[in-house]
Amino acid sequence: MDAHRPLLKKLLILYIYLNKEILHLIKTGKLHSILASEEKHSSGIPLKQWLLKLALRALILSFLVFFTMVYIHQGSLIFNENGSTIFNRLAAFEFSATVLFLFLVFLVHRGISKVINDYRLANYGSLLRGILEAILVIISTVILLYLCLLVPFRFIFPNVDIPPDRIRFNNVVMAIITLFFYYFVERERSKKQLQKEMLRAARLQKENFQAQLQSLKSQVSPHFLFNSLNVLRSLIPQNPERASDFTERLSDLYRAFLENSDQQLIPLKKELEVVNSYIFLLETRFGSAVKFALDIPAEVEQLQIPPGALQMLIENAIKHNGSTRKKPLSIEITVEEDYLCVQNNLQPRLDHVSSTNTGLENIRRRYDYFSDKEVKIQNSKEKFKVKLPLLKLR
């Protein structure tokens, strides 16, 4: 014990110094900005770039860990006990292995964080999950330490013996370091990510409500209802059977809207059922002045889209384009590589209607919450095309 007192004294001094620096970084928020910035490789940042960022973090931290361990064991940052410099083949191996070790530790930490925060463990209580969390961090640290440092060391330097107490000491120090970085960096990252998801959910709820309100205004507006009732009134004496179908489709449209009003996403098949009723009303009203062509493969009908998105695009096409029997408005609805495409020929109305792009912007914002895929707009002199991503439920 007496032989280890100088070593423990140095370790205590170093710990107090680092503790003050770390607390300063935590209070100022610099620690999180430097070491726990979000790696969103699944949300836009390429995987290669994310891994390079992780490797750079491991490299920077390796300098701190390596020279800390050198100082603890040698009492100097440059010289060994025999007076020689620490920069040799053995030191190069230890530093390289430390970089690899910390890189893998950061990857494992991300996996542990995902496991602990999984909804299936939510019922086990914070204490039990905290204990499991600490055990996983320590066990993974020891395993990686042996795989990255001790086992390769035995093969590369078979004639160099490492004292058992030094191995135990290194294990303890590395466990403390990794526990620290897990709880103060990875946990902080997870907490901020959770807060971000909660904010995102709140915004989504707001956007969804606004979309429902906009759609409701559009569908139950006096203008829409007035036109529908006028069409129905003219149909009753001329074609009672079609008038009955018209009434039924109008009823289906409002019923579907009410049923889907609280849904974030619905299957394409369900949206098409609503749109078919909407198309029937439009064809009854405009006759051959508006033509629709739908080509939707059955295998994509279970993919998801925001409710009302397709109907809104059709409505915009009708609103901003004129149509006659000689020059009909053609609206094509097709699928291209997991995108639902709505295309129409451009023939602006004589009574020009100014566009605020509110409908398209609303659709874009709703998609932003569900996918990295963007709503694509292709505008030429003759055609206007919008491509909506078809989403898969995880």
In the chain, domain spans:
2-202, 220-389
Residue 222 is predicted with a pLDDT of: 59
Burial, 268: exposed, middle or buried (Cβ in 10 Å; 0-12, 13-18, 19+)?
buried
* pLDDT (average), residues 62-90: 70
- Report CA-CA distances (Å) from 281 to 106, 225, 278, 359, 389: 58, 11, 5, 21, 26
Average pLDDT, whole number, for the chain? Answer: 76
For 164-202, how does the pLDDT look when each residue is reduced to its tens digit (9 = 90+)?
Answer: 776 677 667 777 777 777 767 666 666 777 677 667 766
Q: Which residue has the tokens 């620690």?
A: 31
Which class for 284: exposed (0-12), middle (13-18), buried (19 or more C-beta within 10 A)? buried
Quote the tokens at residue 63: 């300098």
Question: Is the pLDDT reported for residue 11 higher than 60?
Answer: no
Residue 36 has pLDDT above 60, yes or no: no
Note the pLDDT of residue 12.
46
Q: How far apart are CA 370 and CA 264, in angstroms?
A: 9
Residue 285: Cβ within 10 Å count: 17
Residue type at 6 in one-letter notation? P
CB contact at 8 A, 333 and 296: yes
Does domain 220-389 bear CATH number 3.30.930.10? no
Residues 272-312 have pLDDT tens digits of 998 998 899 899 889 899 999 999 999 999 999 988 889 88
